[in-house]
Amino acid sequence: MFKKIAIFGVGLIGGSFALALKKAGVVEQVVGVGRQLATLQRAQELGIIDAIASSVADAVSGAELILIAAPVAQTGAILASIEPHLQAGAIVTDAGSTKSDVVLAARTALGGKIAQFVPGHPIAGREQNGPEAALAELYAGKKVVLAPLPENAEQDIVRVAAAWQQCGALIHRLSPQQHDAVFAAVSHLPHVLAYALVDDIANKPHAASLFQYAASGFRDFTRIAGSSPEMWRDISLANREALLGELDAYLLQLTRLRGLLAAGDGPGLEAVYSNAQQARHNWISAIEAAEQQNKEGGD
Of 77, 119, 113, which is closest to residue 95 (Cα–Cα)?
Answer: 119
- The pLDDT value given to residue 297: 66
d(CA 103, CA 75): 10
Count other Cβ atoms within 10 Å, centred on residue 59: 24
Range of the domain at 243: 179-264
> Per-residue pLDDT averaged across 216-222, rounded?
95
pLDDT tier, 136 (very low <50, low <70, confident <90, very high otherwise): very high
Q: Say if residue 139 is in the same domain as residue 260.
A: no
d(CA 200, CA 149): 41
288 found inside a domain: no
Alpha helices in 61-204 (DSSP H): 75-82, 100-110, 154-166, 176-183, 189-202
Beta-bridge partner residues of 120: 146
Summarised one tens digit per residue, pLDDT across range 21-52 is 999 999 999 999 998 999 999 999 999 999 99
Summarised one tens digit per residue, pLDDT across range 82-130 is 999 999 999 999 999 999 999 999 999 999 999 999 999 999 987 788 9
Burial of 88 per CB tally in 10 Å (0-12, 13-18, 19+): exposed
Strand segments, DSSP code E, in 178-295 are: none
Q: Say if residue 253 is in the same domain as residue 221.
A: yes
Burial 210-247, CB ≥16 within 10 A → b, else e: eeeeeeeeeeeebebbebbeebbebbbebbeebbeebb
- The pLDDT value given to residue 298: 60
Q: Say if residue 153 is in the same domain as residue 140.
A: yes
Phi, psi of 40 (to 5 degrees): -65, -40
Summarised one tens digit per residue, pLDDT across range 163-195 is 999 999 999 999 999 999 999 999 999 999 999
End position of a domain, from candidates 174, 196, 219: 174
24 found inside a domain: yes
CATH number at residue 23: 3.40.50.720
Domains in the chain, number: 2
CATH number at residue 196: 1.10.3660.10
End position of a domain, from candidates 158, 174, 190: 174
143-146 β-sheet, strand order: 120-122, 143-146, 170-173
The reported pTM is 0.88
Q: Say if residue 71 is in the same domain as residue 125.
A: yes
283 found inside a domain: no
More confident residue, 129 or 285: 285
End position of a domain, from candidates 145, 174, 203: 174
Q: Say if residue 94 is in the same domain as residue 227.
A: no
Q: Say if residue 58 is in the same domain as residue 117.
A: yes
